[in-house]
Structure 1
Amino acid sequence: MGFIWSLIVGGILGWIGSLIVGKDIPGGVIGNIIAGIIGAWIGSALLGEWGPEVGGYSIIPALIGAIILIFVISLIMKAARKAT
């Protein structure tokens, strides 16, 4: 059941991060889950693990990490569109 919670929380974190940045992540729901999980890893590496924890993720650092990841991906996608 822990794996299912991780996927759900990762998807919600990726979705909220894309709402805050104002850019959609490619891949829809799967992209949001991946962005949330990788963002949680980035956030915990940069900020440590503090704040409320749900599904094995510290919510505040994970959300900040997801926002950073989505912002960087949107910059890369924008540069790739300009290059073509």
Structure 2
Amino acid sequence: MGLVILLVVGGLIGWVASIIMRTDGQQGIFLNVVVGIVGALLAGFLLTPLVGGAPITSGVISLPSILVSLLGAVVLLGIVNLFRRGSVR
């Protein structure tokens, strides 16, 4: 059950991140889920120890963990855009 929740929350986080970065029209549902989960993983490993709390991948879904995961997904989309287009947006 935890994997299903991670996929749903990761998909929502990836979708919101793609709207923030204005790449929503270029991505499908699958890529939104991938960006959300990979962004959550990166944020869980890098940002969560600095901010405190539990990462979203541990099964704890709270507002700070969702915000940190969203930040990780936005940063991941910025990096992908930087390599694809030469600019962050």
- Fold match, TM over 0.5? yes
Structure 1 stretches lacking a partner, 5+ long: 80-84
Paired residues, number? 79
More strand by percentage = 1
Correspondence list, 1:37-76, <5 A = 37-48=37-48, 49-50=52-53, 56=59, 58-76=65-83
Match in the other structure for 1:31: 31
Q: Is the 8 A contact 2:44 2:57 kept in 1?
A: no
Tell me the SS of whatever aligns to 1:71.
Answer: helix
Identity %: 35
Identify if the C-alpha distance between structure 1 residues 73 and 24 changes in structure 2 by more than 3 Å, giving closer, same or farther.
farther
Which amino acid in the other structure matches residue 10 of structure 1? G
CA contact (8 A) 1:39 1:68 kept: yes
Following TM superposition, where does structure 1 have runs of at least 4 consecutive aligned residues deviating by more than 3 angstroms?
A: 24-27
Q: Are the equivalent residues in 2 in contact too, given 1:10–1:37 (CA < 8 A)?
A: yes
TM-score normalised by structure 2 residue count: 0.73
Structure 2 unaligned residues grouped into runs of 5+:
none
SS in 1 for 2:24: coil
Task: Give the match for residue 82 of structure 1.
Answer: none
